[in-house]
Structure 1
Amino acid sequence: MNPLFSLTCRTVATIAATLMTCSAALAAYPERPITMVVTYPPGGTVDVVARLIGPKLAEKLGQPVVIENRGGAGGMIGGAVVAKAKPDGYTLMLDASNHAQNPAVHSKMQFDTLKDFAPVSLLLRVPNMLVVTPNAPFQTVADVIAKGKDPAHPVYFASAGPGSAQHLAGELFNLMAGTHLVHVAYKGGGPAMLDVMAGQVPVMFASMGSGWQHVKNGKLRALAVGGATRSPSAPDLPTIAESGVPGYESYEWNAIFAPAGTPPAILDQLSKALAEVLKDPGVAQTLAGIGAEAIGSTPAELDTFRQAEIAKWQKVVGEANLKLD
């Protein structure tokens, strides 16, 4: 027998055996519980979403999904944990829109957002709302724009903190509307919203997920939503874009990521399972109740989305000359 032919056969056999072993391992996934690291503290919207989809995902995969909250630093504490985790599909991250905003506002981070995380699925988007204190002298977006153009009599807006989704939504509004709204940073969205309800600060670009309940009970007045179209949860509420700021869009969103290097077959399996979870009537009804748009994307679609979001907020931060580090 030709020695070269023998060597070739052995090589092919080795490769085939390796592929079969890998295929068997992937076919068995998952064989043990999966940890879902939530990059925000318990009780917030991101945590609520995790505890809504976690049990349903466990049913689809046949293994428990353990929720582990690692909040702090706008999602970067949890992100640092997941970035260093083994890329085997057993550690996932449920992150929010700060995933794309942190690279724009922080020059020093413990990880590279694009290189250290593999996209799995964009779960949902929730539009920001322009809300005001009920007795504030603003009835429309046009009122805010008119008063916000006078730097001698500043209009203040609250946010969860420097570089937060609410802060950047306000800066985007300033750039597109030509206003000079002045940012007031709080240590969290809850305290910020409480002060807007109390009249300490008159304006906030709040997530519909956390602010809509306060609008319904009269503690806040909503002027417009930040989505590209009106929200099915509030069809009579105009968009900011149709209220004098054409092209304005601002969402908060949730997505699942895995450590970079996680096998594509596992990413696809997780993505398909999550898409099925989001079609569950109970899940869909709960998300609709907070004004969320359920999506359930492919990994490739999430990758395209996050790159566009990073570019968008880098442009906003640059044009607004924000320095947060």
Structure 2
Amino acid sequence: MARLVAPRMADVLKQSVVVENRPGASGQIGAASVARANPDGYTIMLDASSFAANPSLFKKLPYDSLKAFKPIGVIALFPNVVLVNSGFPAQSVKDLISASKKHTNAVAYASSGNGSAQHLAGALFETAAKVELLHIPYKGGGPALADVMAGHVPLFFGNLASSLPHIQSGKLRALAVTSAKRSPILPNVPTLAEAGIRDAEIYEWNAIFVPAGTPDAIVSKLSEALQMALEHNDVKARIAQLGGDMRHNSPNQAQSFIQEQVNLWARVIKERNITID
């Protein structure tokens, strides 16, 4: 996402925007670097939805997520898809819930690891649907998805974009999307709310941040550059292709959304006793 937006922001700002990957520790390495950076607007961070879960997953972060940064804006929201393999009999969310209630842990779901996006999505689904599923963590999303498609594990809460080819090939069956509205990419797949599961909107998202001490005038300038970048047809097309819902929001609106996400995952992680150990 950074490489998609950065060139367009550079056009607006009339200066180069260099993307430097700082992976590791669920985004903590890159975030810690930005938190310590000079708050002059020349160091910005693009982070993902793990930003909102990390404060509750990790006992000690090298920064305070809500105090060390100012959001510039949320770029887009990407819904998950409730997926089963082609050999699993459930044809709907109702069928899935019925199967899961036959006995404790009757249905298992795979994830890329404890505390991962798939794990958290499954945990929220359990709470909202009032079911108990068996969580099977893998070392990475690739092996998890491969075992689901191979029929070893029936259920997966997947990213829409990465799951789409497997849905189209028939290897996976989409039972519902986790957004408020149906996805234009999967118009025949109901939302969880339409399937009778309330309070279970689940999104992966990307947002841009700067260090907390950045002056408001610089924040406003960067926010304007981001909004203008999102108006470019190539950016719109790529986000739509990935199944995203592009956001046009102010820094204050972005802050409110991120706070809501932090609160949501704090509740889920506490209620489901999720740890990353």
TM bucket (normalised to shorter chain) is: over 0.9
Tell me how many residue pairs correspond in the alignment: 277
Aligned to 2:11: 59
Tell me the distance in 2 between the aligned counterparts of 1:152 and 1:168: 19
2:182, 2:199 → 1: CA distance? 13
| Cα separation, 2, equivalents of 1:87 and 1:151 | 54
Check if 1:225 corresponds to 2:177: yes
- 1:276 is the counterpart of 2:228: yes
Deviation at 1:131, TM superposition (A): 0.9
| 1:69-148 alignment runs, 5 A limit | 69-148=21-100
TM-score by length of 2: 0.95
Q: CA deviation at 1:189?
A: 2.2
Tell me which residue corresponds to 2:114. Answer: 162
Aligned to 1:39: none
Gaps in structure 1 of 5+ consecutive residues: 1-48
Q: Which has the larger radius of gyration?
A: 1
| Distance in 2, Cα, partners of 1:233 & 1:255 | 23
- The AA in structure 2 aligned to 1:64 is S
User: Partner of 1:175 in structure 2?
Assistant: 127
In the aligned structure 2, how far is the partner of 1:191 from the partner of 1:262? 41
RMSD across aligned C-alpha pairs, in angstroms?
Answer: 1.4
Instruction: Identify the residue that residue 318 of structure 1 maps to in structure 2.
Output: 270
Q: Which residues of 2 match residues 195-274 of structure 1 at below 5 A?
A: 195-274=147-226
The DSSP-based 3-state class of the residue aligned with 1:68 is coil
Which range moved further: 264-273 or 147-156? Answer: 147-156
One-letter identity of the residue aligned with 2:41: G
| Partner residue, 1:44 | none
Amino acid paired to 2:142: G
The amino acid that maps onto 1:221 is R
> 2:114–2:275: 8 Å Cα contact kept in structure 1?
no
Please give the TM-score of this superposition, normalised by the length of structure 1.
0.82
In the TM superposition, what is the alpha-carbon distance from 1:227 to its structure 2 partner? 0.5
Higher normalized helix content (fraction of residues): 1
- Once the 2 structures are TM-superposed, how far is the Cα of residue 218 of structure 1 from its aligned partner? 2.4
Distance 1:264 1:190 in 2: 41
How far apart in 2 are the matches of 1:151 and 1:81?
Answer: 47
Residue by residue over 1:235-262, the C-alpha shift from the partner in whole angstroms, topping out at 9 and shown as x without a partner, is 1110111112123210100000111101
Which residue of 129, 137, 140 maps to 1:185? 137
Report the residue type matching 2:92 in the other structure. T
Measure how far apart 1:152 and its partner are.
Answer: 4.4
Deviation for aligned residue 1:153: 5.4
Q: Cα distance, 1:198 vs. partner?
A: 1.9
Q: Find the aligned partners of 2:274 and 2:154 in 1 and give their Cα distance.
A: 22
The Cα of 1:150 is off from its aligned counterpart by 3.3
Distance, in Å, in 2 between the alignment partners of 1:227 and 1:60 is 31
Q: 2:274, 2:238 → 1: CA distance?
A: 36
The percent of aligned pairs where both chains have the same amino acid is 48
Question: Is the Cα–Cα contact under 8 Å of residues 131 and 220 in structure 1 kept in the other structure?
Answer: yes
1:150·1:180 contact (CA, 8 Å) conserved in 2? no
